Chain A
Amino acid sequence: MSELRKTPLHDIHQSLGAKMVPFGGWHMPVQYSGILDEHRAVREAAGLFDVSHMGEIDIKGPHALDFVQMVTTNDASRLHAGQAQYSLFCNHNGGIVDDTLAYKISDGHYMLCVNASNTEKDFSWIKRQCTPDFDAEVTNVSSHYAQLAIQGPKAVGILNSLADKDLSSIPHFCFDYANLDGIDAMVSRTGYTGEDGFEIYLSPEKAAQLWQSIMKAGEKDGIKPIGLGARDTLRLEMKYSLYGNDISGETSPLEANLGWVVKFHKSDFIGKEALLGQKETGIKKKLVCLIVDGREIPRPGYEVYLDGRNIGLVTSGTKSPSLGRGVAMAYVENGLDKEGQSLQIMIRNKGVEARVINPPFYKKST
């Protein structure tokens, strides 16, 4: 096994006493003060995440848009410079290669942010699709960027206090360039928690300095460093899919309830034919949200039953810190995905009652 890679913030994580784990080939913090404490901080105040393990792929050239349209399922022609969209790469069978945030930097320049563990796979897959017909250049620029995420109700105010311009005016799913306490960065109004906040792309050399600046600026608001453990519970409460758990090469966007990022009206894209076929003939399984009635906690790999018949599989599950209940994402037979449908999750040979609910699990009280 090759050695784990370290982000530019590795020393900071260790000095904070983080529990470190291998994740997608990287040595990453899974928790600092504790998953429940960190989860609460993000829901109630603010949290700072090191997500430098994420990959970035540049698409540049006169045909950059045409090429992005070919390799992704969403409609990138709708992006103006300074906008981002959630999108997918699909294979020819309609299976998901990865999910991505596609940024339009300028005409002829897009940046795709991809999952850490998939970066190499995505890069070589995208590069293979870039036939000579396309006048576009595909570059893995992951090593050019560190990435921090600041999320939570206090996040915008905290980051704004360090910025040379008003970041609160950046609309959701848009980005701008700003100077943060002397550091140039690309600031994107996006996240993976369901809270307001930003994802910040910057030079790896400046990452530790910006981390310290943000922690200091957020101190009075109760900002905390957040590890992968809480990142997972936060995204699960929002029903955001995690590649490798809820979506994979074996699942299609239609099954995963991600049909909203598949735009059939645009011209050809990889996987279109297969997905159109699925749309016509119908899909067999569907990703649903399940909430457990009792105290038990569903986990990935647990089977789902209806009246003694195995009809599905849990792909993500935990005890939701916000709800205090066991929650799961599970693929179940199509037709059993309606709100209120009662199902049983097999937990240690016992069928535990659960119900299908409409996403997200966590609904912010306003």
Chain B
Amino acid sequence: MGFPVELKYTSEHEWIRIEGDIAYIGVTDYAQEALGDVVFLEIPEVGSEIEKGETFGVVESVKAVSDLYAPLSGEVTKANEVLVDTPELINEHPYDDGWMIAIKMSDTEELKELMNADDYETYIEENG
């Protein structure tokens, strides 16, 4: 199981990749492993606003339904529609092809609350 050092993480098992004022969001390797086979994804449309801590989508495995929580606030600039037809990419490539949405961050102060890879790995060991 890997946790790329260039990414940020949340306690809800999402990863965030920062590119300027854009943040790409997906779920971690740990999350996809815990979910099992992902068979359904619901993500917001481009142009919609998401707010830190609120649910922005739903991911479903064969057995379970899980909410996705926004790690940051902002406006959705891209949605990975490929995943709607091939949600298994979330299992196969959680950190690249499995990205879910990109947002234009509205408050970069929120970045301070995210974990780095080491902190996240420790968090999983203690809470996983």
Asked whether, in the complex, the Cβ of B37 is within 8 Å of the Cβ of A299, the reply is: no
Asked whether, in the complex, the Cβ of B58 is within 8 Å of the Cβ of A348, the reply is: yes
Q: B36 in the interface, Cβ–Cβ < 8 Å? A: yes
Which stretch in A28-36, A192-200, A271-279, A338-346 binds the other chain? A28-36
Q: B40 in the interface, Cβ–Cβ < 8 Å? A: yes
Kindly state the separation between the CA atoms of A295 and B39 in the bound complex, as whole angstroms.
9
A31-B36, A233-B62, A318-B62 are known contacts; what are 15 more A-B pairs with Cβ within 8 Å? A35-B36, A36-B37, A37-B37, A229-B36, A229-B62, A229-B63, A232-B63, A295-B40, A297-B39, A297-B65, A299-B65, A318-B63, A319-B39, A319-B40, A321-B62
Residues of B within 8 A of A44 (CB): none
Q: B60 in the interface, Cβ–Cβ < 8 Å? A: yes
Q: B84 in the interface, Cβ–Cβ < 8 Å? A: yes
Closest to B67 in A: A348
What are 7 A-B pairs with beta-carbon distances under 8 A?
Answer: A35-B36, A36-B39, A229-B62, A296-B40, A297-B39, A318-B63, A321-B62
Asked whether, in the complex, the Cβ of A35 is within 8 Å of the Cβ of B40, the reply is: no
**B residues near A, CB below 8 A?**
36-37, 39-40, 42, 58, 60-63, 65, 84
Tell whether A319 pairs with B84 under 8 Å between CB atoms, given A31-B36, A295-B40. Answer: no
- The smallest beta-carbon distance between B38 and chain A, in angstroms, is 10
Tell whether A34 pairs with B36 under 8 Å between CB atoms, given A297-B60, A321-B62. Answer: yes
Secondary structure call for the B interface: strand
Binary per-residue interface labels of chain A (292-331) against chain B in the complex, 1 for a CB within 8 Å, 0 otherwise: 0001110100000000000000000011010000000000
CB-contacts of A26-50 with B (<8 A): 30-31, 34-37
Residues of B within 8 A of A35 (CB): 36-37, 61-63
Kindly state the separation between the CA atoms of A91 and B47 in the bound complex, as whole angstroms.
57
CB-contacts of A260-300 with B (<8 A): 295-297, 299
Residues of A within 8 A of B62 (CB): 35-36, 229, 233, 318-319, 321
Residues of A within 8 A of B39 (CB): 36, 297, 319
Asked whether, in the complex, the Cβ of B84 is within 8 Å of the Cβ of A295, the reply is: yes
Kindly state the separation between the CA atoms of A166 and B41 in the bound complex, as whole angstroms.
48
Which has the most chain A C-beta neighbours within 10 Å: B36, B40, B63? B63
- The smallest beta-carbon distance between B41 and chain A, in angstroms, is 9
Residues of A within 8 A of B63 (CB): 30, 35, 229, 232, 318
Residues of B within 8 A of A37 (CB): 37
- The smallest beta-carbon distance between A35 and chain B, in angstroms, is 4
Closest to A229 in B: B63
Residues of B within 8 A of A348 (CB): 42, 58
Kindly state the separation between the CA atoms of A232 and B40 in the bound complex, as whole angstroms.
18
Closest 5 CB pairs of A and B: A35-B62, A319-B39, A36-B37, A34-B37, A297-B40
Kindly state the separation between the CA atoms of A229 and B37 in the bound complex, as whole angstroms.
11
Residues of B within 8 A of A232 (CB): 63
Kindly state the separation between the CA atoms of A318 and B84 in the bound complex, as whole angstroms.
17
Kindly state the separation between the CA atoms of A37 and B62 in the bound complex, as whole angstroms.
11
- The smallest beta-carbon distance between A16 and chain B, in angstroms, is 16
- The smallest beta-carbon distance between B34 and chain A, in angstroms, is 9
Kindly state the separation between the CA atoms of A229 and B35 in the bound complex, as whole angstroms.
12
Residues of B within 8 A of A30 (CB): 63
Residues of A within 8 A of B61 (CB): 35
Residues of A within 8 A of B60 (CB): 297, 319
- The smallest beta-carbon distance between B85 and chain A, in angstroms, is 9
Residues of A within 8 A of B65 (CB): 297, 299
- The smallest beta-carbon distance between A33 and chain B, in angstroms, is 10
